[in-house]
């Protein structure tokens, strides 16, 4: 699964998901003014949380422990991070509301989909990146340091460092 090979959800993965969803429920139910409680719940839910990282609930994840947030990361309301494969978010990255980071993929062949086969590819987001509201990052994508992705963009391919990208699919429109 983590190597991008096809897999089917088994009892172990289902148990991991149940554990994660209980932790996610705690995080999402924590009062917004309980900063210590939010930090504790986030640390329990995610694999690594850098110093001064902040996530505004609600947050929706598959397993949680495959997500790494660097120092000073900010994630706004409504993020979806499907971490079947690892998701790494570099220091000081900012994400607008309703951003989706999607690592799972499904076969094109209908019989394989019906049989429950899936795979996943990791997502890596560099340092000091800004993802505007509603950005969708597809499986296997890397986004370079200091890059800005405009609201509503769908990032289906890697983006280099120090650019502005917009649209569906996301296209580089400016060097920074």
For the chain, where are the E strands, in sequence order? 48-49, 54-55, 59-61, 67-69, 74-75, 79-82, 87-89, 94-95, 100-102, 104-105, 119-120, 123-125, 130-131, 136-137, 142-143, 148-149, 154-155, 163-166, 171-175
Q: What 3-state class would DSSP assign to 5?
A: coil
Q: Report in angstroms the alpha-carbon separations of 26 from 37, 40, 48, 52, 135.
A: 9, 10, 17, 20, 26
Helices then strands, counting H and E runs in the chain, come out as: 3, 19
**Residues noted as catalytic:** 106
């Amino acid at each position: 699964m983590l190597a991008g090979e096809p897999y089917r959800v088994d009892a172990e993965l289902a148990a991991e998901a149940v554990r994660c969803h209980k932790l996610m429920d705690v995080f999402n139910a924590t009062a917004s003014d309980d900063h210590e409680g939010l930090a504790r719940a986030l640390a329990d839910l995610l694999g690594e949380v850098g110093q001064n990282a902040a996530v505004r609930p609600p947050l929706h994840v598959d397993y949680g422990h495959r997500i790494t947030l660097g120092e000073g990361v900010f994630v706004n309301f409504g993020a979806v991070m499907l971490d079947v494969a690892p998701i790494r978010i570099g220091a000081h990255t900012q994400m607008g509301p309703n951003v989706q980071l999607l690592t799972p993929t499904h076969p094109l062949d209908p019989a394989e989909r019906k049989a429950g086969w899936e795979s996943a590819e990791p997502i890596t987001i560099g340092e000091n990146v800004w993802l505007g509201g509603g950005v969708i990052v597809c499986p296997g994508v890397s986004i370079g340091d200091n890059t800005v992705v405009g609201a509503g963009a769908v990032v289906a391919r890697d983006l280099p460092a120090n650019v502005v990208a917009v649209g569906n699919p996301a296209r580089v429109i400016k060097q920074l």
